[in-house]
Amino acid sequence: MIQDSKKAILIVSFGTSFHETREKTIDKIEDMIENAYKNYKIYKAWTSKIIIKKLLKRDNIHVNTVTEAMKEIVKDGIEELIVMPTHILNGVENDIMEADVLAFNDEVSNIVFASPLLTTTGDCMKVILALMDAHKDLSEDEAIVFMGHGTSHHANSVYPAINYIFNDLGYKNAFMATVEGYPSIENVLKSLKDTDYKKVRLAPFMLVAGDHANNDMSGDDDDSWKNIFMANGYEVECQLLGLGEYPQVRSIYLDHLDTAILNLKKQAHEIEESAKEKTLNA
């Protein structure tokens, strides 16, 4: 398929310094989008400047910031841009990313943003069904606890909503906790206190199984979630699977991108019709 030199997709991720998990998650999503939209020029950027600097210093690998990617997009004469964030929430990182992109609003004719992973209740349900299908081997005396990042942003409300949906869909053995928000690991321990679960499976509720999964969740320090649950008498298993490793989850990103492109086409059509109407009434 011939690439349209004026159309582009910018894929924006938080980033990770763990190459193995990046290959299984961010790279997979990028490859999926490139294969689905071969007629679009693809640009990539990360939002974590700390991780970008770390990769450059440690591995001599340069990853564009959003601003750097936008400068390339303007230089290349892109007129139609779809921004696809791989962020989990419409939170702080997503807000900053949108502001960085819109700083170039005068230089790119049409810009539209696809939604992050968990934007609607339907998104939450799809993710939960995908996760619980992948973890259907849980024994009767085993609970699964997902580690989300958590945030001071109002988007943190998604995490307690996930807990509610787990329960509403009948997954009484599934719990959500966050590293930096609500609910916390203490909240989950309280919920587990009066149950018969003797085992706990820990899994990240983050795109990549990076620093939080390898250290805060499954690390050897006394304050890792693994050791906290063990100290409370539970047998613990850790599964280092980032959300981006689940094919059904990756497909949600593609659905969001499809919707954004349809919205852009609708927007372009409305502009064209409005121009025609002005010409006729002139």
Residue 97 to residue 117: CA distance in whole angstroms: 15
Residue 269 is assigned to a ligand binding site? no
Residue 68 to residue 81: CA distance in whole angstroms: 15
Residue 48 tokens, joined: 């974590």
CA atoms within 13 A on the CB side of 80: 17
Residue 5 to residue 219: CA distance in whole angstroms: 47
**Bridge partners, residue 43, by sequence:** 10
- DSSP annotation of 216 reads I
Amino acid at 60: N
269 flagged as catalytic: no
Identify the active-site residue in 87, 135, 149, 256: 149
Contact 87, 93 (CB under 8 A): yes
Contact 34, 2 (CB under 8 A): no
Question: What are φ and ψ of residue 30, in 5° steps?
Answer: -60, -45
Whether the bond into 204 is cis, omega within 30 of 0: no
Question: What are φ and ψ of residue 69, in 5° steps?
Answer: -65, -40
Residue 180 is assigned to a ligand binding site? yes
Three-class SS of residue 171? coil
Q: Which residue reads 């939604």 in tokens?
A: 115
Question: What are φ and ψ of residue 64, in 5° steps?
Answer: -65, 140
**Binding site members for Co(2+):** 149, 180, 212
- Catalytically active residues are 149
Binding residues: 149, 180, 212
